[in-house]
Structure 1
Amino acid sequence: MTPAELSRTVRHAVCRAVADAALPGPVPERVVVERSRPGGTGDYATGVALRLARPAGRSPREVAGLLRDRLAADPGVGRAVDRIEITGPGFLNFTLARSTARDDAADLVRTVLREGPRYGHGAALAGTVVAFAPASELRAALWTRTVVDLLRTQGATATVVETPTPTAETAETLRPVPAPPGDHLARLGPDALHWALLRPAAHDRPLLGPVPPARGAAVSALLVQRDANPLFRTRYAHARARALARNAAHLGITPGYEEREDAHSDLLTALGDHPATLEAAARLRAPDRLARHLEHTAEAFLRCQETLSPLPLGDEKPSAAHRSRLALAAAAGAVLAGGLSLLGIDAPEHL
């Protein structure tokens, strides 16, 4: 059961409770189901009970208990979910059945491989029309262009008003903390510059570093190809995924997700969270959320490579585990390629 399916199931339980007069109050248009966070349990969680508590005149834990009982009585939920628990002030936590988790992982990887770099694009904001005021300041201009691209991935109609019109008076204006003066493009190049301007949140200073001295040529940390550089690590992870695909093809090994391994849980979580990250980045006008997510995805992928080799070693014969790891690597590469492209950053085949 995917987060989207859980979201619909929980909302249906809310609808039934309201219809039966067991739960006063309006039915939310959308129920957010996300990966469980620190302090929670299981695979997924929702805080819908906290939203419903005040209109219903009840405590969040009481509302969560009511919803838990109704969900537990649903045969479809019973087959897909092992446990439904209440944590904190009233969060509902879902632990999927092991077979369901394995099937969900396979479906997820296949979906990513099928959709490629466009994985996560959807119609969540279809019908939304947004116009942005043009920006002359370096960071604001890049921020605006990137937000337009993010909105379009979710089906919105987004444009930048370039000429004075009545629409321009109501156009949305984005004002992140500006970049300091300087020829940053010449110093950093487009990839590092985009990361420097988009990776920090709008209210944080860009990662441009000190201006080089008049007679010096100080090298930005974003240009150093070392593990300490998150931009390098993110782009290296993509290059590594592509290299694995080339080597597998040379050995005649075809990727195919067949076996789930617990060591890959963090990477599977990152892949599963990608569509929600794109939607949130678009809704909140926050490309930094996508940049941080790509950084996390790259780290999860590289940790997997250090733990389990996707390719046979020595005289080892290719197995279902190798094919699954290769499929997961290809999925990670697709997410990184699509995300970096939206930020205007090159996703290299070789690095």
Structure 2
Amino acid sequence: MTPVDLSRTVLHAVRRAVDEDALRAPVPARVRIERTRPGGSGDYACAVALQLAGPAALPALEVARILRDRVAAEPGIGRVDITGPGFLSFTLDAGADTAARHELVREVRERGPRYGHGDALRAEVLQFRHAREVRAAVSAHAVRALVVSQGARVRVSCETASDPDWERLGVGVDAHGVPPTPLTAIRPVPAGADAGELLERLGPDATRWGLLRPAGHDRAPLGDDLLVQGEANALFLVRYAHSRARSLTRGAALLGFDGAYEADSDARHPDAHALLDLLADHPGVLLAAARHRAPDRLARHLEAVARAFFAFHDSCPPLPIGDEKPSAAHRSRLALAEAAGTVLAGGLSLLGISAPEHL
């Protein structure tokens, strides 16, 4: 069971309690699930009981007891405890958790860069409009890719003639002018520079990342630090993580083995768990980024995946070290590392940024 699955399970328990009149409170739009902090109990925790206590006019501990009884019976849940003033602490069923991890890695590897694509927006026909400004054009292009990944149909128009340099950024426009039909305007804070200048100084990939990584209402930092090959540069970190994942595959082939998620020796390792959680979150991140017209959400998620990948890579090496022989644990670690590389490649593609095999 992933954090997303657990969030849905708790939300379902809240709805049941409300429907059964055991709880009189509005059902929240979502329930936030977090990894249990060091020293805490269980695998995950949430504060939904504290959130609902006021509207329900009940003590948080009473709300927690109402929800605990309904969550504990759900498949995949081993135990639910109440801690502190009313936190729910969840211990997952070991067998179900193992099956979920296997299924997650299998799905990523099977679907490839399209992992996380869906049809939640299949009924939507959207029209976006943007000004003749490079950040607006790049943002509209990325938003288009995101909503299409969730099944929507989209048409993008620019208020006036396109800048010819946009083609070098991979940006296309379907129409010019302002049609009479309802449109959604894509209006981030302007970049303060034109496409030609940015391309000459940064190149297409760094330009797109610099324009898309900040939220639309924030100014886009477009300094030369976007070209620095170091951990402080998030774009380099994400692309290097992808490149490293691909190099692991090549290294394993030279040693005569490939990835197969079959060993659970690292299953409870916090770095493996953190990476698995982020991969499980990827479909939800894509859908949220599409619905909110926010490619920055995807960029931040890719950065988190890259950092989790390197933490896992360092603590659970996918390739044998020294005289070690390849083992089931190495095959499992390699499969997880390859899945992370796949998610990074797919996410970068949606942002219109290349994911080179070598850096």
| Aligned: 1:94 with 2:98 | no
3-state SS of 2:154 partner: strand
Q: Which runs of 5+ in 2 are unaligned?
A: 158-174
2 CA distance for matches of 1:98 and 1:181? 54
Partner amino acid, structure 1, of 2:295: P
The equivalent of 1:213 in structure 2 is none
| Aligned: 1:2 with 2:2 | yes
Could you tell me whether the CA contact under 8 Å between 2:36 and 2:42 is conserved in 1? no
Q: Residue 130 and residue 184 in structure 1: after superposition, are their counterparts in 2 closer, same or farther (change >3 A)?
A: same
The equivalent of 2:183 in structure 1 is 171
3-state SS of 2:317 partner: coil
Displacement of 1:51: 6.5
Displacement of 1:8: 4.6
**Aligned mate of 2:317, from 305, 309, 313:** 309
Q: Residue 9 and residue 159 in structure 1: after superposition, are their counterparts in 2 closer, same or farther (change >3 A)?
A: same
Displacement of 1:47: 5.5
Q: TM-score, normalised by structure 2?
A: 0.83
Q: Residue 259 and residue 275 in structure 1: after superposition, are their counterparts in 2 closer, same or farther (change >3 A)?
A: same
Could you tell me whether the CA contact under 8 Å between 2:64 and 2:82 is conserved in 1? no
Q: Deviations over 1:269-297 (max 9, x none)?
A: 22122112112211222111111111111
Could you tell me whether the CA contact under 8 Å between 2:68 and 2:80 is conserved in 1? no
Partner amino acid, structure 1, of 2:244: R
2 CA distance for matches of 1:152 and 1:186? 30
1 CA distance for matches of 2:32 and 2:313? 29
**Aligned mate of 1:286, from 268, 275, 294:** 294
Partner amino acid, structure 1, of 2:187: R
2 CA distance for matches of 1:160 and 1:224? 33
Displacement of 1:142: 0.8
| Aligned: 1:131 with 2:127 | yes
Q: Which moved more, 1:273-282 or 1:187-196?
A: 273-282
Could you tell me whether the CA contact under 8 Å between 1:35 and 1:269 is conserved in 2? no
**Aligned mate of 2:328, from 315, 320, 332:** 320
Q: Residue 294 and residue 15 in structure 1: after superposition, are their counterparts in 2 closer, same or farther (change >3 A)?
A: closer
Q: Residue 313 and residue 198 in structure 1: after superposition, are their counterparts in 2 closer, same or farther (change >3 A)?
A: same
Displacement of 1:306: 2.2
| Aligned: 1:223 with 2:227 | yes
Percent identity over paired residues: 55
**Aligned mate of 2:220, from 201, 206, 215:** 206
Could you tell me whether the CA contact under 8 Å between 2:249 and 2:258 is conserved in 1? no
3-state SS of 1:103 partner: helix
| Aligned: 1:269 with 2:274 | no
3-state SS of 2:318 partner: coil
| Aligned: 1:13 with 2:25 | no
Q: Residue 282 and residue 51 in structure 1: after superposition, are their counterparts in 2 closer, same or farther (change >3 A)?
A: farther
Displacement of 1:240: 0.8
Displacement of 1:101: 2.9
2 CA distance for matches of 1:275 and 1:343? 15
3-state SS of 2:186 partner: coil
Partner amino acid, structure 1, of 2:225: A
Could you tell me whether the CA contact under 8 Å between 2:35 and 2:43 is conserved in 1? yes
2 CA distance for matches of 1:271 and 1:344? 20
Displacement of 1:48: 5.0
Q: Deviations over 1:142-194 (max 9, x none)?
A: 11111121112222333324343221xx3111221111125111111110001
Displacement of 1:235: 0.6
**Aligned mate of 1:187, from 176, 201, 204:** 201
The equivalent of 1:148 in structure 2 is 144
2 CA distance for matches of 1:158 and 1:350? 34
The equivalent of 1:216 in structure 2 is none
Q: TM-score, normalised by structure 1?
A: 0.85
Q: Residue 101 and residue 307 in structure 1: after superposition, are their counterparts in 2 closer, same or farther (change >3 A)?
A: same
Aligned residues: 334
Q: Deviations over 1:76-101 (max 9, x none)?
A: 44x6333343566x654423133333
3-state SS of 1:166 partner: coil
Could you tell me whether the CA contact under 8 Å between 2:11 and 2:31 is conserved in 1? no
Q: Residue 84 and residue 111 in structure 1: after superposition, are their counterparts in 2 closer, same or farther (change >3 A)?
A: farther
1 CA distance for matches of 2:5 and 2:232? 39
Displacement of 1:25: 5.2
**Aligned mate of 1:335, from 327, 331, 343:** 343
